[in-house]
Structure 1
Amino acid sequence: MRIKIDGWEQRKLGELAEIVGGGTPSTGIDSYWDGDIDWYAPAEIGEQIYLESSQRKITEEGLNKSSAKILPIGTVLFTSRAGIGKTAILLKEGCTNQGFQSIVPNKEKLDSYFIFTRSEELKRYGETVGAGSTFVEVSGKQMANMELMMPKTMLEQQQIGEYFQSLDHLITLHQRKCMTNR
């Protein structure tokens, strides 16, 4: 049953995006590493909104010999364990290790920045449904089943995303100003 409220409706994240896990090439095989493919680890996801380059890179061979997958520009990386819920948006194609369940928006159904603005909600959901004895982890299937209230139109998502993007930009400018005035 879908709930509808004034132009918004409840949708499953998996209806709006593909949820993609990551992978790690064998660290014992040198030919898998130091290539030109960005490969992100959860520790690299901090307070930044956008990602342009990873600390470590893998080769085409490393990509092909692991479960890592190339993620398109606009993918929202979502850490799925050991600090569930850190998010960032890819500005350049890349891949991740298995500590992610990345959200690859269907370009006709989900705006990247709009879903990024829902990071706290994504985090709470991941912490609630995640399981594990050593550390809590949320699966791709669990993420795909997350229900969200969404605007019916892509235009409204984009407008909301742009509004929050301009606020985030303004906050960043003020933070820089405060740092230089110290």
Structure 2
Amino acid sequence: WEQRKLGDVADLLTGYPFESRHFTDTGIPLVRGMNVKRGYLDMSADICENWSDAAGVEDYLLKAGDIVIQMDGALIGSSYAMVTPENTPSLLVQRVTRVRCGNRSRYIFQAVQRGFLRYIKSLKTETAVPHLSLSDIADYAIPVPKEEREQEHIGSFFSRLDDLITLHQRK
């Protein structure tokens, strides 16, 4: 295994500064910081805004398997989620980072879930609204198995384990 920076193993992108005066009632949902919760995306109608279409902003379309991380607010470090097929299409808004890592998304998500908050607590700016930069996120070090197939297996195993824990907690 190697210690690697997140920015070296994934494609990172911060969102587009969509102007709120152009939000619409229908169209493509926007993923803003308030939509990114602890491990999931909340796309409920009462907090979700929309953009008419993706023309000109195609680079900000999210794909299933992308990981999104909120960059501002009291819950930075614990506000991240994996985009599911049900969350697409959607567009990435400014102050949210997209982590795209292909087949290793489950592994990377587990690595973020396991130690990202601890890492962020050491970096958090002491302002009224805590803030992360893209370089803060890119510098997060994670242990990475050399074989991509091993990463996929580890990510799948821990995802299934998380699902079982959630299921038992609901009971």
**Alignment TM class, shorter chain as reference:** 0.7 to 0.9
Structure 2 segments unaligned to the other structure (5+ residues) = none
Residue 45 (structure 1) aligned with residue 45 (structure 2):
no
**Aligned position for 2:18:** 25
Q: How has the CA–CA distance of structure 1 residues 133 and 173 changed in structure 2, closer, same or farther, with 3 Å as cutoff?
A: closer
CA offset at residue 132 of structure 1?
Answer: 5.8
Most deviating of 153-162 and 120-129:
120-129
Structure 2 residue matching 1:60: 3-state secondary structure = coil
Residue 103 (structure 1) aligned with residue 103 (structure 2):
no
Give structure 1 regions of 4+ aligned residues with deviation exceeding 3 angstroms: 51-54
Q: State the alpha-carbon separation in 2 of the partners of residues 135 and 99 from structure 1.
A: 12
Q: State the alpha-carbon separation in 1 of the partners of residues 39 and 127 from structure 2.
A: 30
Aligned residue pairs total: 162
**Aligned position for 2:149:** 155
Q: State the alpha-carbon separation in 2 of the partners of residues 135 and 52 from structure 1.
A: 21
Q: State the alpha-carbon separation in 1 of the partners of residues 147 and 137 from structure 2.
A: 22
**Aligned position for 1:80:** 71
In the alignment, which of 83, 100, 118 is matched to residue 90 of structure 1? 83
Task: Give per-residue Cα distances to partners, 1:111-133, cap 9 Å, x unaligned.
Answer: 11111112242222233224363
Matches within 5 A, 1:5-20: 8-20=1-13
Aligned-residue identity in percent: 27
**Aligned position for 2:131:** 137
Letter in 2 for 1:142: D
Question: Is the 1:23–1:98 Cα contact (8 Å) retained in structure 2?
Answer: yes
The structure with more strand, counted as a fraction of residues: 1
Question: Is the 1:101–1:139 Cα contact (8 Å) retained in structure 2?
Answer: no
CA offset at residue 103 of structure 1?
Answer: 0.9
Task: Give per-residue Cα distances to partners, 1:78-127, cap 9 Å, x unaligned.
Answer: 1112021211111224223223122111x2xx611111112242222233
Question: Is the 1:74–1:89 Cα contact (8 Å) retained in structure 2?
Answer: yes
Structure 2 residue matching 1:129: 3-state secondary structure = coil
Q: State the alpha-carbon separation in 2 of the partners of residues 132 and 95 from structure 1.
A: 30
Higher radius of gyration, 1 or 2: 1
CA offset at residue 168 of structure 1?
Answer: 1.4
